[in-house]
Chains A and B, each alone.
Chain A
Amino acid sequence: SQQGEEDPQALSIQEGENATMNCSYKTSINNLQWYRQNSGRGLVHLILIRSNEREKHSGRLRVTLDTSKKSSSLLITASRAADTASYFCATDQQGAQKLVFGQGTRLTINP
C-alpha cells in the first residue's frame, strides 16, 4: 500500500503562475523525495529533503518539510508548459530500505 497522500490529485494553472502540491505521510522518515514523470516515461528525481531539514531550494523548486505534521509541499515558481507532468512524493521510511510513493499530482500548465 502507498503511504503518501498527495493533494490535489490534479492541478491546472496558467503559464507563469506558481504551482503548489502537498504530500502527507504516516510514519517516521529518513528523508522525503519528489519526482516528476512525463506521460509514459520513467520518473526523474527532483529534490531530496532530509528529516532534519525544513526547507530546500533547487532552481524554481522549493520544498518544505514539517515532520510534526508529517507533511511536505513542493512549490514550482514561474511555471512553464514543460512543467506539465505528474509529480510524486516518496518517503524513505525509518527501518525500511525502499521508497514509498504517493499517488501523485497531475499538473497541467496552460500556455
Chain B
Amino acid sequence: DTGVSQNPRHKITKRGQNVTFRCDPISEHNRLYWYRQTLGQGPEFLTYFQNEAQLEKSRLLSDRFSAERPKGSFSTLEIQRTEQGDSAMYLCASSPTDYGYTFGSGTRLTVV
C-alpha cells in the first residue's frame, strides 16, 4: 500500500442518478479528507474523518451528499439525485497527524 487509491477514475452518469465513489487511504493514516475540484480552481473542502468519526462537513456538502468511513478504513462518498453542477473531480486525501496530505488521483464525475 504505497498511496491513496480512488475508484472509479471516471464516472459518467445521467442527471438524477446516484453515484458512489470509494477511497482507500494509506493504512496508517488516521485522517481522511474529501475535496471537490472544478476546472481551473483549487480543491474545495467537503468533509473530514478522523478514524471512523466524521468531524467536519462543509456547507458545500448538501443533503444529497453523504460520506462514510466504516471502521476507520476506506471511505465512500455518495451523491444522490446528481445534478449537472456536481460535475467535478472528487479528490480523496489522507494524512497522519500534522503533516502533508497524500492525495489520490481523483474520480472525475461527469453528469449528462
Contacts and interface: CB of A to CB of B under 8 A. Distances in A.
A53 to B, nearest CB: 14
The range of chain A's interface size is: 20 to 34
A45 B26 CA distance: 15
Given A42-B106, A45-B100, A98 B43 contact: no
Contacts of B65: none
Contact of B103 (A42, A97, A103, A104): A42
The range of chain B's interface size is: 20 to 34
B41 A103 contact: yes
Interface in A56-111: 88, 90, 96-104
Interface of B: 4, 6, 31, 33, 35, 40-45, 48, 50, 55-56, 89, 91, 93, 98-106, 108
